[in-house]
Amino acid sequence: MSEDASADRRMLDRMIFFSDAVFAFALLLLAADIRLPTSIDDSTIWSQMATLAPHFASFLISFALASLWWAVHLSATRELRTFDWPTTLCNLFFLLWIVLLPFAADTFGANMMADAPLGLYWIVNAGASFSMTLMFFVMSRGGGRLIGGIGAGERLLRLTQAAAPGAVFALGAYWAFSGDIWLSRFCAMLLAPVMMALGVIAGMLKRRRAKAAQAA
């Protein structure tokens, strides 16, 4: 391995390690604000725990979404073959939204019945989705030279998959700010059918590519 290639590999590793550290810190902060009062007795501990139920609900939802973003980030960055500054800047923009997630989760947990905190929560998650879409758009440019090559059809499909959660969360934010709080609360349920449909299309394209390769 040449000296330049070795340096690029170290830079890429540092970018990925830094990203993992940001995710770990954000996950830790999700639980940091769930605290009982410092002085409670045995007779009130369960009633005090009950008052934290909205925060626990917000924590569980946020932990699941943060885990989703980490898995998406892992899937994208594992394909990178070399360090690239435009991709790194897009990665930092993506991490900006991950860092904001604990703030949005705490605000939502403390005001679960209000419209605006829920709208803010969905905006942060939509930002994470759209920034990851931008990151993949940048890292897959030039025929995917940074990720070992990619066809136009596959690139479009994967960009659509990356943007789909953002579209759902943006819709949830619109419903929240429009006063349709219950539609907004359950907007995440739209993710399953949308992602399943895109997964079916991806599977069809993969089988088509395999048949074309065998025929060749």
**pLDDT band (50, 70, 90) for residue 4:** low
Give the mean model confidence (pLDDT) for residues 138-152.
86
Tell me the pLDDT of the chain averaged across its residues.
84
What is each CA distance from 52 to 56, 89, 109, 121, in whole angstroms?
Answer: 6, 38, 9, 18
Written as one string, the DSSP assignment of 113-177 is: T-HHHHHHHHHHHHHHHHHHHHHHHHHTHHHHTTTT---HHHHHHHHHHHHHHHHHHHHHHHHHH
pLDDT digits (tens, 9 = 90+) for 38-47: 666 666 666 7
pLDDT at 93: 97
pLDDT digits (tens, 9 = 90+) for 181-205: 888 888 877 777 777 777 777 777 7
Distance CA(169)–CA(108), nearest Å, equals 15
Give the mean model confidence (pLDDT) for residues 28-51.
71
Give the mean model confidence (pLDDT) for residues 149-162.
85
C-alpha closest to that of 57 among 196, 158, 188: 188
Residue with more model confidence, 37 or 166? 166
